[in-house]
């Protein structure tokens, strides 16, 4: 059994990790942290986990993380980078759901995240955990930077087009909508029910911190610089991201075949039949990205629709997928959930 620690077990991605890990055949949960709720049984806070998780939260300072095989950080940005080096030195694998190890350019990271990086040397060796691109490197990683939610939906949607040189790279557009759980469980005015329900709003148009992450990924796929306009929106649903992606076609290829071939054999990317409009509900609670590719009126613009559950393929599910790859398990172990309908 793989001994697992979760730092940040009281948050949304933390409890989602617990839901998935508690059903995983090869995992033993050893430590789940909370600063404010240390000593409280996990199942008291989350009755959905009654009879599945019998641990109490422990304070992160006193948690025995060094005896785990892998530790997930489901914490705000800037926490994992303070503890990763010590864990790695003790032979513990680290999977960070936050952004501490996602951006190779430290100055760029410090600019967008507004803090000094505590551990730049590990950024250089960390592997960006997008399995559909980096599977081989993930197998050997000591630190995995789990991708952001928007970056997962946007990169997977653009991947076949950018890799194959099918679209112009100077002016890609990603118009993305997220459910409110994307903002986490901490109290903030803009995510109050009376502010976010029956409402719809763009934000971060001038620059969102996922912009450099997406741009870095797309530039690597293309092996060339990429121009991207990224506009996120908050939409009144709990879970889900819907990304609508636009690019100008420069090479006339069978787009449906391109997508089907690129993702053939991928358990967690579903290329839908031609003409489809994937819904966020079709991936709710599942580790899945569903994609449809369109060429409206046969023109020179390609439109890709990419949907994920932000908490699963956009966070905890992808983190478990990375753990499976890292430990040589079946990549789908513990990730067989079928989305909830309705």
Ligand X SMILES: NC(=O)C1=CN([C@@H]2O[C@H](COP(=O)(O)OP(=O)(O)OC[C@H]3O[C@@H](n4cnc5c(N)ncnc54)[C@H](OP(=O)(O)O)[C@@H]3O)[C@@H](O)[C@H]2O)C=CC1
> Catalytic residue numbers?
149
Return the residues of window 44-73 that contact ligand X2W according to CB under 6 A. Answer: none
- To 10 degrees, the CA torsion angle through 297, 171, 231, 143? 120
Part in contact with ligand X (CB under 6 A); list of ranges 8-16, 155-163, 259-267, 268-276: 8-16
Q: Are 176 and 233 in contact (CB under 8 A)?
A: yes
Q: Which stretch binds ligand X (CB under 6 A): 250-258, 260-268, 290-298, 306-314?
A: 306-314
Per-residue binding string, ligand X, 25-64, x by CB under 6 A, is ---------xxxx----------------------x----
Q: What's the token pair of residue 311?
A: 């908490």
Residue 271 CB, nearest approach to ligand X2W (Å): 24
* 157 touches, from ligand X, ligand X2W, none (C-beta below 5 to 8 Å by class): none
35 binds, among ligand X2W, ligand X, none (CB under 5 to 8 A by kind): ligand X
Binding partner of residue 58 among ligand X, ligand X2W, none, CB under 5 to 8 Å per kind? none
Judged by DSSP in three states, 298 sits in: helix
Sign of CA dihedral 85, 87, 91, 94: negative
Beta bridge partners of 291: 271, 306
Asked if 99 is part of the footprint of ligand X2W (rule: CB under 6 A), the reply reads yes
Q: How does DSSP assign 225-267, residue by residue?
A: ---EEEEEEE-SSSS-EEEEEEEEB-S---HHHHHHHHTTT-T
> Is 88 among the residues that bind ligand X (CB under 6 A)?
no
- Tell me, what DSSP letter sits at residue 315? I
Q: CB of residue 202 vs ligand X2W: minimum separation in angstroms?
A: 11
271: part of which helix (H) or strand (E)? Answer: strand 269-271
Q: By CB under 6 A, is residue 301 in contact with ligand X2W?
A: no
Q: Which stretch binds ligand X (CB under 6 A): 110-118, 178-186, 217-225, 253-261?
A: 178-186
The CB-nearest residue to ligand X is: 11
Binding residue for ligand X, selected from 2, 75, 153, 322, defined by CB under 6 A: 75
Q: How far is the CB of 35 from ligand X (least distance, A)?
A: 3
289-294 and 301-308 as β-strands: parallel, antiparallel, unpaired? antiparallel
Which of ligand X, ligand X2W, none interacts with 7 (beta carbon under 5 to 8 A by kind)? ligand X
Q: How far is the CB of 110 from ligand X2W (least distance, A)?
A: 15
Q: Which two tokens stand for residue 297?
A: 């009126």
Q: Which does 232 bind (CB under 5 to 8 A by kind): ligand X, ligand X2W, none?
A: ligand X2W
Q: Which residues of 278-303 are buried (b: 16+ CB within 10 A; e: fewer)?
A: bebbbbbbbbbbbbbbbeeeeeeebb
Which residues touch 222 (CB under 8 Å, ≥6 apart)?
Answer: 162, 163, 165, 169
Asked if 129 and 324 touch (Cβ cutoff 8 Å), the reply is no
Residue labelled with tokens 């100077």: 170
* 120 in contact with ligand X (CB under 6 A): no
Choose, by CB under 6 A, the member of 13, 280, 282, 285 that binds ligand X: 13
* Residues near ligand X2W, by CB under 6 A: 98-99, 148-149, 178, 182-183, 210, 232, 234
Q: Which residues lie near ligand X (CB under 6 A)?
A: 7-14, 34-37, 60, 74-77, 79, 97-98, 148-149, 181-182, 184-186, 310-311, 314-315
């Amino acid at each position: 059994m793989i001994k697992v620690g979760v730092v940040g077990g009281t948050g949304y991605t933390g409890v989602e990790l617990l839901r998935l890990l508690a059903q995983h055949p090869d995992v033993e949960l050893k430590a789940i942290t909370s600063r404010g709720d240390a000593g409280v049984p996990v199942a008291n806070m989350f009755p959905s986990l009654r009879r599945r998780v019998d641990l109490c939260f422990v304070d992160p300072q006193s948690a025995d993380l060094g005896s785990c095989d892998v530790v997930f950080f489901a914490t705000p940005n800037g926490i994992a980078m303070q503890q990763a080096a010590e864990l790695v030195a003790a032979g513990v694998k680290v999977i960070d759901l936050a952004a501490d190890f996602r951006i190779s350019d430290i100055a760029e990271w410090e600019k967008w995240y507004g803090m000094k990086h505590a551990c730049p040397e590990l950024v250089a060796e960390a592997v960006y955990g997008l399995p559909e691109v980096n599977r081989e490197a993930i197998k050997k990683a000591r630190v995995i930077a789990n991708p952001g939610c928007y970056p997962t939906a946007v990169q997977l949607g653009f991947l076949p087009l950018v890799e194959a040189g099918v679209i112009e790279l100077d002016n890609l557009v990603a118009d993305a909508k997220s459910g409110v759980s994307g903002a986490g469980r901490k109290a903030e005015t803009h995510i109050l029910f009376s502010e976010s329900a029956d409402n719809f709003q763009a934000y971060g148009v001038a620059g969102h911190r996922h912009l450099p992450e997406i741009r870095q990924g797309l530039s690597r796929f293309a092996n060339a610089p990429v121009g991207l306009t990224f506009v996120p929106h908050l939409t009144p649903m709990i879970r889900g991201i819907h990304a609508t992606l636009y690019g100008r076609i420069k090479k006339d290829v069978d787009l449906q075949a391109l997508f089907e071939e690129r993702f053939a054999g991928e358990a967690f990317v579903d290329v839908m039949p031609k003409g489809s409009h994937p819904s966020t509900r079709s991936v709710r609670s599942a580790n899945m990205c569903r994609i449809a590719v369109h060429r409206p009126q046969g023109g020179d613009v390609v439109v890709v629709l990419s949907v994920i559950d932000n908490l699963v393929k956009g966070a905890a599910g992808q983190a478990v997928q990375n753990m499976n790859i890292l430990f040589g398990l079946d990549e789908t172990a513990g990730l067989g959930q079928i989305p909830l309908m309705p």
